[in-house]
Chain A
Amino acid sequence: MKRIALLGMPNTGKSTLFNRITGASARVGNWPGVTVDLLAAKLLIAGQMAEIVDLPGIYDLHGYSDDEKLVRHFLETQPIDLLLIAVNAMQLERQLILAMQLASLGKASVIAVNMIDEARHAGLGIDTERLSAGLNLPVVAISAKYGQGQAELMAAVAAKLPQAALPSGKMAAEAASRLAEDDSFEVRSAELVAAAVDVPHLLPERFSDRLDRVLMHNVFGLPLFFIAMFFVFAGVFWLGAPIQDVLKNAFDWFGEALLKPLLAPLPELLRGFLIDGLYGGISTVAAFVPVVVLFFFFMAVVEDSGYLSRAAYLMDALMARLGLDGRSFVMLLMGFGCNVPALMGTRVMRSRALRLLSMLIIPFSLCSARLQVFIFIIAALFSPHAAPWVLMSLYLMSFATAFGTALIFGRGKAFRSEEPFVIELPPYRFPTLRQVWMRGWLEVRHFLLRATKIIVAGVVLVWLLTHLPVGVEAASADSYAGYLGRWMQPILSPLGIDEKLTIALIFGFVAKEVVIGALAVIYGLEGSALTEHIAGSLSLIQAYSFMLFCLIYTPCLSTIATLKAESRSLKFAALAVAWPLALAWCASFVFYQVALRLTGQ
């Protein structure tokens, strides 16, 4: 099988091109020594099977960023038959230098001049034949977004592929010695572009510039950013909540009407395990998937439209002081909807250190699942007058723990980014429906494929804890969960968290929205009876301490699964679970003890 590597600078529409060529068939491949996800897809080209790999965007083949090292490592260690190099038609002079660096490796190469639609719109005339002659490589003008030139590009690839028997060129020895060579590429590129590209005398003022005057304004920019984020959230929940309800009802119906009769002949314990444990647990997580999907769609819009870089610009002054960058803040905010898409969204940050630090702080975002728990408890215990302030204080706590964590860990070597914050600001683009759909769909599929195992394992574990030993009442004091709750009392009672609440916290490990359902099971009460019971049995201080703990401690199973999959490091995932747990204990302990003393109890 032949292998094609897709390369190019960031913002060349490389991923759009990859999706365009491969359809939705891409899978995350496993490559030795590679710590980021690389998408790969198999494709039939002129009767030959070929695997095409989407490598991360790089600015410079001889650079020092994590991605540049990764691409170099990949090109050095993997057999590759053809390089497909994407360049942005609007920035040929700069981008051809990378193309020349890549072509000098001696492999068969094809250059795709992408975003030809934008170039034509701006009045740029690009003579691909002249470029092709100058570079001695096939050059095809395409628009990955709209599909123009795709057939020609694939024909050029097909024509080049059989010649790919050339011995693989050895990579550059020392990056430093390459600067001189790059300078010669620079001169050649400038000459070539002068000859082959017809630039209009006066470029029309771009739509982007006019929009940026408002959206990047020093005064209006930030408020507009927060309004935009508000609409993202409103949109997700307005669209997501009804879907979630329908799905939940469908799962319930399926369980009641089909699964129960079907599994009736099984022994009771096994039946309970399958229906209440496995099916119930997984359908709870599954009902949340539509919201996750919507978040991915909205995130694709925010990112592909070019707004993410603007938001990064607006927030960078604050975030730089925390050892993060503006993009981390956008993802942190996304985390207030759901931590999972926010964690996956950190992929736009290309420095591993920066990405890990961002992933460490995102689980502190008060996600919508936690919000459900808080609203229930606050409504049960606090007066309508105090309620908004209580909720507000939890949001502030969420930010405080996230920023505090960044300040503490940002000094550590593993989390200190060495990469300069110099990023390109792409012009605004309207993402096509197809682009958004593909992005959302691919991300959700990856999430489901990778998270399922951990989610199933966690659901099973919690069911076993609450239903064993055989014969005990579910989640009662006699179950293993009850034992665990008692065993943890010396640790948790100083926080005002009793045995029963501890069992609820164990459930909350699966998904935070289960906590209320768990309380219903534990107390054996439903609806207003449960509300009254909680109001009667918990003091305000206890309730707030419980909410603090809920806010900060171990994120849900899906989040843990995502942390593990995205970081590809068990050590990091362990830290990301242990640190919030420790912090939650400290925060609740301090709050509970101080509040007790202050109120003289």
Chain B
Amino acid sequence: MIFIRRRVMNYALTQLSPGQGACIAALHAAEALQHRLAALGFRIGKRITMVRRAAFDGPLHVRIDQTDIIIRRVDAACVELRPATDTHSSVAAS
């Protein structure tokens, strides 16, 4: 059997589509934002789902565990994601 390991690029939270989920890979935030994100449950390895995206470049509505969060795109840009590994993932295979 031949395993083809396809390297999958990480991407920013802003690129996630509604209904899609992923895992948090890294937080590239300044310290103040880092503290706030961590306290709201943004921690490395956690699963995050995009619920909806506001019109006109408005904020994003995301969900981590039982917490729903509204985050502006500028702030969301510093959240790096990798594709979710579990089988329940709704990420479309590409």
Binding site for B on A (CB under 8 A): 9, 59-60, 62-65, 68, 90-91, 93-94, 97-98, 175-176, 179, 182, 186, 203, 212, 216, 218-219, 309, 312-314, 316-318, 320, 418-427
Q: Is the CB of A90 within 8 A of B66?
A: yes
Q: Is the CB of A422 within 8 A of B75?
A: yes
For A316, list chain B residues within 8 Å (CB). Answer: 54, 58-59, 70, 72
Q: Is the CB of A422 within 8 A of B52?
A: no
Whole-angstrom distance between the Cβ of A222 and the nearest chain B Cβ: 9
A-B contacts, 30 listed (Cβ < 8 Å): A9-B39, A60-B38, A64-B32, A64-B35, A90-B66, A91-B65, A94-B40, A94-B41, A175-B31, A175-B35, A179-B35, A182-B38, A186-B38, A218-B55, A313-B58, A313-B70, A316-B54, A316-B58, A316-B72, A317-B59, A418-B32, A421-B59, A421-B70, A421-B71, A421-B75, A422-B36, A422-B40, A425-B69, A426-B68, A427-B68
Known contacts A317-B56, A422-B72; is-contact A59 B36 (Cβ 8 Å): yes
Known contacts A94-B39, A421-B59; is-contact A176 B31 (Cβ 8 Å): yes
Closest-by-CB residue of A relative to B35 is A63
Query: Contacts A421-B72, A425-B70 given; 14 further ones with Cβ under 8 A?
Result: A60-B38, A65-B32, A91-B41, A94-B39, A94-B41, A97-B39, A313-B70, A316-B59, A420-B71, A421-B71, A422-B37, A422-B40, A422-B70, A422-B75
For A312, list chain B residues within 8 Å (CB). Answer: 70
Of residues 17 to 72 in B, which have CB atoms within 8 Å of A's CB atoms?
31-41, 43, 51-52, 54-59, 61, 65-72
Of the four ranges (under 10, 10 to 19, 20 to 34, 35 or more), the interface on chain B belongs to: 20 to 34
Give complex CA distance A327, B40 in Å: 19
Q: Is the CB of B39 within 8 A of A98?
A: yes
Q: Is the CB of A216 within 8 A of B52?
A: yes
Give complex CA distance A314, B70 in Å: 11
Give complex CA distance A186, B35 in Å: 13
Q: Is the CB of A94 within 8 A of B35?
A: no
For A63, list chain B residues within 8 Å (CB). Answer: 32, 35-36, 39
Give complex CA distance A313, B31 in Å: 24
Whole-angstrom distance between the Cβ of A63 and the nearest chain B Cβ: 4
Whole-angstrom distance between the Cβ of A216 and the nearest chain B Cβ: 6
Closest-by-CB residue of B relative to A217 is B52
Give complex CA distance A182, B67 in Å: 19
Contact of B69 among A175, A179, A423 (CB under 8 A): A423
For A59, list chain B residues within 8 Å (CB). Answer: 35-36, 39-40
Q: Is the CB of A420 within 8 A of B32?
A: yes
For B54, list chain A residues within 8 Å (CB). Answer: 218, 313-314, 316-317
Q: Is the CB of B39 within 8 A of A420?
A: no
Give complex CA distance A98, B38 in Å: 11
For A427, list chain B residues within 8 Å (CB). Answer: 68
Q: Is the CB of B32 within 8 A of A425?
A: no
Contact of B35 among A62, A317, A418, A425 (CB under 8 A): A62
Give complex CA distance A64, B33 in Å: 9
Contact of A318 among B31, B56, B66, B72 (CB under 8 A): B56
Give complex CA distance A316, B54 in Å: 9
Known contacts A64-B32, A317-B57, A318-B56; is-contact A91 B39 (Cβ 8 Å): no
For B61, list chain A residues within 8 Å (CB). Answer: 216, 313, 425
Give complex CA distance A422, B72 in Å: 7
Q: Is the CB of B68 within 8 A of A425?
A: yes
Q: Is the CB of B41 within 8 A of A65?
A: no
Whole-angstrom distance between the Cβ of A426 and the nearest chain B Cβ: 8
Closest-by-CB residue of A relative to B58 is A317
Known contacts A93-B65, A421-B75, A423-B69; is-contact A65 B36 (Cβ 8 Å): yes
For A320, list chain B residues within 8 Å (CB). Answer: 58, 72
Closest-by-CB residue of B relative to A216 is B52
For B39, list chain A residues within 8 Å (CB). Answer: 9, 59-60, 63, 94, 97-98
Whole-angstrom distance between the Cβ of A46 and the nearest chain B Cβ: 34
Please indicate which of the listed interface residues A94, A98, A216 has the most CB atoms of chain B within 10 Å of its own CB: A94
For A425, list chain B residues within 8 Å (CB). Answer: 61, 68-70
Q: Is the CB of A422 within 8 A of B33?
A: yes
Give complex CA distance A320, B41 in Å: 24
Whole-angstrom distance between the Cβ of B47 and the nearest chain A Cβ: 13
Give complex CA distance A218, B52 in Å: 9
Whole-angstrom distance between the Cβ of B31 and the nearest chain A Cβ: 7
For B40, list chain A residues within 8 Å (CB). Answer: 59, 94, 422, 424
Q: Is the CB of B43 within 8 A of A423?
A: no
Give complex CA distance A420, B34 in Å: 10
Closest-by-CB residue of B relative to A97 is B39
Give complex CA distance A186, B46 in Å: 12
Whole-angstrom distance between the Cβ of A102 and the nearest chain B Cβ: 13
Whole-angstrom distance between the Cβ of B88 and the nearest chain A Cβ: 11
